Amino acid sequence: MRGLKKRRRIQIVVAAAILLAGSAVLIGYGFREGINFFRTPSDVAETPPPSTEVFRIGGLVEEGSLVRGQGETVTFRVTDGGASVPVAFTGVLPDLFGEGEGMVGTGRLVDGVFEATEILARHDETYMPAEVIEALQEQGVYVDPDAPES
């Protein structure tokens, strides 16, 4: 009788482990296209991702790099102070988008140019995404005006 209970308990634990592993695989498979990793321009310059990978890049729009082309295509460079990456975007830019301002873009790196499908800019005069602030602070480019002085 004891051996039967022990065997049944082991079977339940094994079945639960298989179900848990199967669930994790299904969740990962479902999210494979929806997960976008954040990278800084320095990360992209150091180890460029494959052109098939969709990711987010963030930093400051480099001064003097914003060029509005024919039609809706806009090109500029995004920098974190350590490196800069050329960006091409076709579409309507946010109202507060401009040189020297923080931005986050979603897209792919194709032949050394980040082809953005979406551009996000800060939504007021003081906001900048936390990921961008951290990346700029690591490069020594940005000082948070709200941070306590040491």
Query: Given this model, what pLDDT does residue 10 score?
Result: 92
For 110-133, the pLDDT digits (tens) are 999 999 999 988 655 555 667 777
Share of the chain above pLDDT 70, in %: 82
Q: Are 134 and 144 in contact (CB under 8 A)?
A: no
Around Cβ 65, how many Cβ atoms within 10 Å?
A: 15
> Binning pLDDT at 50, 70 and 90, where does residue 28 land?
confident
pLDDT tens by residue, 32-81 = 666 667 888 998 989 898 988 888 998 889 998 888 876 778 999 999 88
| Per-residue pLDDT, 142 | 60
Query: What is the band of 23 on the pLDDT scale with cuts at 50, 70, 90?
Result: very high
Residue 13 is predicted with a pLDDT of 94
The count of C-alpha atoms lying within 13 angstroms of the C-alpha of 75, restricted to the half-sphere facing its C-beta, is 7
Is pTM, for the whole model, over 0.75?
Answer: no
Q: Is the pLDDT of residue 12 over 80?
A: yes
Residue 141, pLDDT score: 63
Q: Which residues contact 142 (CB under 8 A, 6 or more apart)?
A: 60, 81, 128, 133, 136
Q: What's the rounded Cα separation, in Å, for the pair 53 and 51?
A: 6
pLDDT at 148 over 80: no
What tokens were used for 97? Answer: 């988008």
pLDDT at site 27:
87
CA 81 to chain centre: 17
- Dihedral, CA atoms, 81, 83, 86, 90, nearest 10 degrees? -50
